[in-house]
Amino acid sequence: MISEILKSHISARLMIVTKNRSKQDINELIKNGFKLFGENKVQEAQVKYQSINSFEKCELHLIGPLQSNKVKNAMKIFDVIQSIDRFSLVDEIAKQSKKLPTIKTKKFFIQVNIGDEDQKSGIHKKDLQDLYNYSLSKNLHINGLMCIPPNIVDPSDYFKEMVKLRDNTNKNLKLSMGMSNDYEIALNFQSDIIRVGSLIFE
């Protein structure tokens, strides 16, 4: 079903969220041709993915909050970190980039708290441009913006606002938005990456 919907959105990519899934589940997905995966926690990703033989063929994104003391380990395993949300985190990434002999992480997304929800991570909308500019000044390759909208029936207004924020920041940025419950709506608002987990493993 998801693959059929994606056919009408040629540029969109399906990320399979493997939070709480086993190495066996991931190996089966790889055998079936899936290569783009998302994990919420650094330690869980380390345990699962570094012991997978085909790991080098995968593209792994961190989509959960990143603590500063986990940056070093995160940059050794993730291709992309989607949860840049504060200036101090940018500083730590820049510091580790200079110290580490090898770095896997080459691209970053800024996470936007699009619904202004206290319980969610993400930079406030009014501070997005400043964080984007600061990240560039620290030589971070900001590839896109990510959001998790409020859990409502129709988050269209939030996705629409993300498009506007992207266009005002840099029209070339990718948009990572849409999950199992709202990915079809997100695709209607130019989402480049949808993050789906529960639907895949039903």
> What pLDDT score does 198 carry?
82
Q: How many CB atoms lie within 10 A of CB 32?
A: 7
One-letter amino acid identity for 183?
Y
E strands along the chain, which residues?
A: 13-17, 36-39, 59-62, 80-84, 107-112, 142-147, 174-176, 193-196
141's tokens:
């390759």
pLDDT digits (tens, 9 = 90+) for 4-42: 555 556 679 999 999 999 888 998 898 888 999 999 999
Task: Write out the CATH class of domain 2-196.
Answer: alpha beta
| Cα–chain center distance at 114 | 15
What's the predicted TM-score (pTM) here? 0.93
pLDDT digits (tens, 9 = 90+) for 133-162: 999 999 999 999 999 999 988 999 999 999
Domain positions in the chain are 2-196
Query: What average pLDDT does this structure show over 103-132?
Result: 96
